[in-house]
Structure 1
């Protein structure tokens, strides 16, 4: 697969995937709205063999798909609270934008389309161990958009256009576009900066975990796999050994960041609770994670100690989106004839 188009390629997963693809000699094209700036890809652009296009998946340029061998579709309003800020925008980006991108890819003769879905589509798992055939019980708008997008993409599948959905577990670990709104990442930040972790809802909710680099490796495995193994398939991406209750995650972080207090808060508005089985991706593709949660916690702690990352507003997706929406409203109010001054 010499040429890969990554939508959302300047994001948390995309920036890691772009780097790994370039290391293997691929040509990479990135389509990204660049809400969080171009910095995550700045060092890669100096190396060459990467093109970064500022654009929107709801209206991508058809020329971008010329000569592309695989599309990795990561672009999305990317978590539950961010989707809730503006449900209409979330629907148009996560569903309409996905379908528009896929249709243009298919029309251009791109043979493979790999969609970033989420284990959150399983929602409230009712104590079951969930595999790819388990019922989908999404409890959030974000998860519902992923379910709808998967279903609509399946309608485009044919002998010339392979569609694969990767249902990622909850990501953790370092990325050039760092996120501190993911459970391991934010808890590690709070442990390091505040020596305190808050655990909501008694911490009995199950979360499947996977390192961001392992997610990137999973996409690369699908790209290189024989078509008959991945066409029309969905794969849970994670490890059955990395399902943990939230309280256990907090305890692991306390092991790495000493003198951290864990405070349990009774209620939790997040009703997701799912214990996921990941046997299929290892059985079919031979893929399994290389990183553990402890490794992820340690690397984040070390990056904080060295000043390589911090908890600025741009690392908190929903806070930053809210800031942008509020700034847009202010500019609209004070602008005159298209200018502020």
Structure 2
């Protein structure tokens, strides 16, 4: 198939592009490459890879017309980046998604990178029927975009757990990644709202989930699926303690709330019923990042966009 990945040079996108190429598809990466081209160097010479540098906010969308499947990953991702770039968050996460959805023909499958973040501060187990409660601009814009996507019959919305792990384009602001980096490089980890819970998954399992959705599109189209594992529902304190199994560092529980006040657990029963399961443990992801952060300092991703 001919497949396009928006945000294809990003943290998950570059690994998804590699996996799709490995499965025999013809892949086009569409990205603004604001963080450079290093993340696609490992696949740039593949004969079935095409790369387009552009901006989904205003570029001509003709590059979409002959694609069988569009994986829409391009976004301002996460609480800090959206708060630093609120106008861009709306333009990219919502308005550009409207442009893409409106442009596509009915027979083109759109697989959308949604998030569990807009379950907000429920404090209970959330499934796809739970009334959402976005507590951040990021969650709000992603929910608005999901509602747009689901107006199409030929679309799948995947609500991802918070991703962690090593990728050619690292993201420092993701919670587990951030905790490991600070523990390794600063020797101290400050926890705000240490017992608030979220759900996590390894980046390799995220890629696996996208491929799963592609292979099961006949069952999943027109629907929302939480993607992750109940085994990876953790509090911040539990993650810090898991990191501390590998080396010693100071953990400080701060007497103030995190500005990002999400606190929820998620049910992934619907995806699991179709056969999707996560394989990589939190401990395996921590171990690989400890080795990485002993020599690598990521650039900040909170910058004007």
Q: Is 1:292 the counterpart of 2:249 in the alignment?
A: no
C-alpha distance in 1 between matches for 2:112 and 2:8: 13
Aligned residue for 2:288, secondary structure, equals helix
Structure 2 counterparts to residues 28-67 of structure 1, below 5 A: 28-67=27-66
Larger Rg: 1
Preserved contact between residue 254 and residue 260 of structure 1 (Cα < 8 Å)? yes
Aligned residue for 1:43, secondary structure, equals coil
Shift of 1:226: 4.4
Match of 2:164 among 169, 172, 182: 172
Structure 2 counterparts to residues 54-203 of structure 1, below 5 A: 54-106=53-105, 110-125=107-122, 127-157=123-153, 162-201=154-193, 203=194
Preserved contact between residue 209 and residue 227 of structure 2 (Cα < 8 Å)? yes
Preserved contact between residue 65 and residue 110 of structure 1 (Cα < 8 Å)? no
C-alpha distance in 1 between matches for 2:21 and 2:94: 29
The normalised TM-score by structure 1 is 0.86
Structure 2 counterparts to residues 156-305 of structure 1, below 5 A: 156-157=152-153, 162-201=154-193, 203-227=194-218, 229-256=219-246, 258-267=247-256, 268-284=258-274, 286-305=275-294
Gaps of at least 5 residues in structure 1 are 326-341
Aligned residue for 1:303, secondary structure, equals helix
C-alpha distance in 2 between matches for 1:226 and 1:220: 10
The normalised TM-score by structure 2 is 0.96
Shift of 1:235: 0.7
C-alpha distance in 2 between matches for 1:169 and 1:60: 30
Gaps of at least 5 residues in structure 2 are none
Preserved contact between residue 240 and residue 276 of structure 1 (Cα < 8 Å)? yes
Shift of 1:43: 2.3
Preserved contact between residue 4 and residue 67 of structure 2 (Cα < 8 Å)? yes
* Residues 154-183 of structure 1: CA deviation (Å, up to 9, x unaligned): 2232xxxx1111111111001111011111
C-alpha distance in 2 between matches for 1:171 and 1:68: 27
C-alpha distance in 2 between matches for 1:105 and 1:232: 15
Would you say how many aligned residue pairs link Structure 1 and Structure 2? Answer: 304
C-alpha distance in 2 between matches for 1:283 and 1:33: 37
Shift of 1:110: 4.7
Aligned residue for 1:45, secondary structure, equals coil
Aligned residue for 2:124, secondary structure, equals strand
